[in-house]
Amino acid sequence: MQDHPYQAKFLDCWSLMGTLLARTERVRVFPDVACLPLRPPATMAKAAASLGLMSGGRFELALGAGAFWEAIGAMGGDVRTPGQAATALEEAVEVIRLMWSGERAVYSVGEHYRLAGVHPGPVPAHRIGIWLGVGGPRLLRALGRSADGWVPSSSYFPPEVLPGMHARIDAGAADAGRDPSSIVRAYNVFGGVSDTPSDKMFHGTAEQWVSQLTELAVETGMDTFVFGTDGDDLAQVRTFATDVAPAVRAAVDERRGTGARA
C-alpha cells in the first residue's frame, strides 16, 4: 500500500493497513514503501509491531529513503541530499531492529536518529521483514548486508536493469556472510490486464502476463510480484488473482522447481 502523506486525495496508509488487516484473515500487508522522512523510525517500529500482533503475523515493513522532496518539505519533513537520505535509511533499519529487540532499554546515536534509553516494545509476534525500496549502489549493498527484502517498482527500474541490481544485493550479502537467496525480491508491476493483446510490457491478456512474469522470475531472480492496476480497477485485480497468479506459480515451479509468489 503506497505511503504518500502529502497526497491530498490519499487516505493515511497506516490507517488503511489496519482496516484491511482487521477485515481479512489471510492477506499479508506492507507499506509500499513507508515514507521515512515523514515517519520517525522508532514510532513506526511500534506501529508495525502492533499491526503484526493484532493481525496474527500478517504484516511486513518496507521502507523508502524518500522522494518527492518538495512535497515532503512542505509537510514539515527534512529535505535530504541523496547521501543524507541513504545514511538516514541505514540508521532507521538499526533503530527499528532495536525497538523490536525486547531489551529493557536501547540506545543509538546517529546523524539523523537517536535512541536515549527508550523502553522498546511490544516485541513483534513474528520476525517482521524489513524490505527496502532502493536502487542506488550504496543502498543495494546495504540491503544485502542487513535487510530482508527488496521491493523495486517497474516504473523506475525496468526489467533489463534488474540483474545488475541483484548482483549488488548479492555482493552485500556475501560481505556479511549471508545467503543471498534468503532475501525476498518483490517487484511492483504496474499495468493492465485485458482481453486485448498488447505489445506494451505489463499490458495485455492474462496469458501475456503469465509469460512475462514467468520470464522475470526465472531470468531476473524476482520471486514475488505486487500488481498495481491502471486506474485501480477491481476487476483487473480479480483477474490477476484468479487467472495470472496461480498460472505463474505453476509455470515457474515447472521451469525451476520453486514457485514465485504472485
Q: Each residue of 85-98: pLDDT tens digit?
A: 999 999 999 999 99
Strands 106-109 and 114-118: antiparallel
Which pLDDT score, from 0 to 100, does residue 232 have?
80
| Cα separation, 116 vs 109, whole angstroms | 8
| Cα separation, 150 vs 168, whole angstroms | 12
Instruction: Dig out the grid coordinates for 21 from the structure.
Output: 488487516
Q: Would you place residue 233 in the very low, low, confident or very high pLDDT band (cuts 50, 70, 90)?
A: confident
Kindly report the backbone phi and psi dihedral angles of residue 117, in degrees, each rounded to the nearest multiple of 5, phi listed first: 80, 25
Cβ pair 64, 35 in contact under 8 A: yes
Average pLDDT over residues 20-49: 97
Q: Would you place residue 230 in the very low, low, confident or very high pLDDT band (cuts 50, 70, 90)?
A: confident
- Would you state the CATH architecture of domain 1-132? Alpha-Beta Barrel (3.20)
| Cα separation, 53 vs 61, whole angstroms | 13
Average pLDDT over residues 162-167: 97
Cβ pair 111, 91 in contact under 8 A: yes
Strands 130-132 and 61-64: parallel
**Under DSSP, is residue 12 helix (H, G, I), strand (E, B) or coil?**
coil
pLDDT of 261 > 80? The answer is: no
Query: Which residue ranges make up each domain of the chain?
Result: 1-132
Average pLDDT over residues 134-161: 97
pLDDT of 260 > 90? The answer is: no
pTM of the model: 0.92
**Closest by CA position to 127, among listed 108, 105, 146, 100:** 100
| Cα separation, 225 vs 131, whole angstroms | 14
DSSP 48-104: HHHHHHHTTS-B-EEEE----HHHHHHTTPPP--HHHHHHHHHHHHHHHHHHTS--S
Separate counts of helices (H) and strands (E) for the chain = 9, 9
